[in-house]
Structure 1
Amino acid sequence: MTQRQAYPSLVLRAQGLACGRGGLPLADDMSFAVHGGTCLLLRGPNGTGKTTLLLTLAGIVAPLAGFFALEGADPEAGPLLHYSGHRNATKPRLSVAENLGFWAAVNGATGDSVETALDRVGLGDLAMLDAGYLSAGQSRRLALARLLVTQRPVWLLDEPTAALDAEGHQLVTDLIDGHLDAGGIAIAATHDPITLPDAARMETLALGKAA
């Protein structure tokens, strides 16, 4: 491993994978391999299974066919992935810092401190503010900060730039790029463009047209 690499050499591999909900297939016969240090972008119209694929990879929805596995992972290392959905799941009557501290306690405080993570996402000055007063974009930044307080090698991101301005889009790019520097894997479903400084680190999986 390089000096900056925090994770072992990993590959998230899928073969013949089909996913859907309620027995209704949304995407099928998917085969891909995402190596450490690489981001896979999921593209496609609404209803083509981008979110369902993320939920399947997260273990929340069972696959309809095929298989996937994270190769090279230590089975005793504990949880290996973050799923960041399109809902921010903040508690409005807790402060910004208390919200993030709650998630650090639940997921394990193995990454940045609450204070450092909030500074990195641009919310350091709002740490004591009740989260209910945050704007939509600020709430999204708070949700992204959960990725930083708990260190896990695989990020599954559903519309990570939703409600963010141009500066917020750059923040997402920087966070993903830093995660890849550490040897992590990112899979992101997004309608917005995400362009990393090194285009070789990005791959795209286009899902089919909606019915």
Structure 2
Amino acid sequence: MTALPAAKTRPLNAPPLLAAQGLAFSRNDEPVFGPLDFHIDAGEALLVQGDNGAGKTTLLRVLAGLLRADAGQVQIDGRPAGHKERSQFVAYLSHLPALKADLDTLENLNFLCGLHGRRTRQMPGNALAIVGLAGYEDTLVRQLSAGQKRRLALARIWLSPAPLWLLDEPYANLDLEGINLVNRMISAHLRSGGAALVTTHGAYAAPPVQTRLLSLGAAA
């Protein structure tokens, strides 16, 4: 099993990586979530739980800057969350793998590293080994199974230099070994000063780390 290297550490007096105050979102004049107040410090995970329709994915899309909140504010590293702050601090794993189907796995990671940068001393080939895809360097993404695509998306997250991970159902399409992989990645990221916001439909899978809970009610 490939060891997970440490990420870059943060100063002890750093502000929360993410803080939200009065955050709310509505769709077609119907409230989806909020108002919410929460923060995520370096070295911890925030587990967001709720039934289908409770707004978990919508919350992550708002935090990632893909949707605009109706009310409230978000700060990243103590500053208002603008495009620059999100590009520097946030890595987002969505339900969709965000991969190019007609490129191979290594080409995908090289392309994404060119867009977003990568961790110091981390290389795409090593990331493939970490997620269990060694030997698949020349395999086209469209030839991968759903679980393998999920692992490749996790390799993209691991390569990102961003300290804040927004992980939407990261255990989806993974077997027990894959679930353990996600837990190892999150644990290593937190130990080295990163943070993670993780959505899950239930308590069957959660990272074994310092975790706080944010529960979202079902949509009306």
Superposition TM-score, scaled by structure 1 size? 0.89
Look up the match of 1:121: 131
- C-alpha RMSD of the superposition: 2.1
The 3-state SS of whatever aligns with 1:132 is helix
The 3-state SS of whatever aligns with 1:41 is strand
The 3-state SS of whatever aligns with 2:135 is helix
Q: Distance in 2 between matches of 1:86 and 1:4?
A: 24
Q: Distance in 1 between matches of 2:215 and 2:103?
A: 39
Q: Distance in 1 between matches of 2:90 and 2:154?
A: 14
Q: Distance in 2 between matches of 1:13 and 1:209?
A: 23
Look up the match of 2:21: 15
Distance apart, 1:22 and its partner CA: 4.4
Look up the match of 1:160: 170
2:148 to 108, 130, 138: 138
Aligned amino acid, residue 181 of structure 2: L
Q: Distance in 1 between matches of 2:27 and 2:8?
A: 37
| Matches for 1:162-177 after TM superposition, within 5 Å | 162-177=172-187
Distance apart, 1:5 and its partner CA: 5.2
- Give me the identity figure in percent: 40
Cα pair distance change 1:23/1:105, threshold 3 Å:
farther
The 3-state SS of whatever aligns with 2:34 is strand
Look up the match of 2:3: none
Aligned amino acid, residue 10 of structure 2: Y
Distance apart, 1:46 and its partner CA: 0.8
| 2:212 equivalent to 1:209 | no
Distance apart, 1:4 and its partner CA: 6.9
Tell me, yes or no, if the aligned pair for 2:7 and 2:119 is still in contact at 8 Å: no
Tell me, yes or no, if the aligned pair for 1:84 and 1:158 is still in contact at 8 Å: yes
The 3-state SS of whatever aligns with 1:126 is coil
Structure 2 gap segments, 5+ residues each: 1-5
The 3-state SS of whatever aligns with 1:54 is helix
The 3-state SS of whatever aligns with 1:125 is coil
The 3-state SS of whatever aligns with 1:82 is strand
Q: Distance in 2 between matches of 1:165 and 1:159?
A: 13
Look up the match of 1:96: 105
| 2:117 equivalent to 1:108 | yes
Look up the match of 1:184: 194
How many pairs are equivalent? 206
Aligned amino acid, residue 104 of structure 2: S
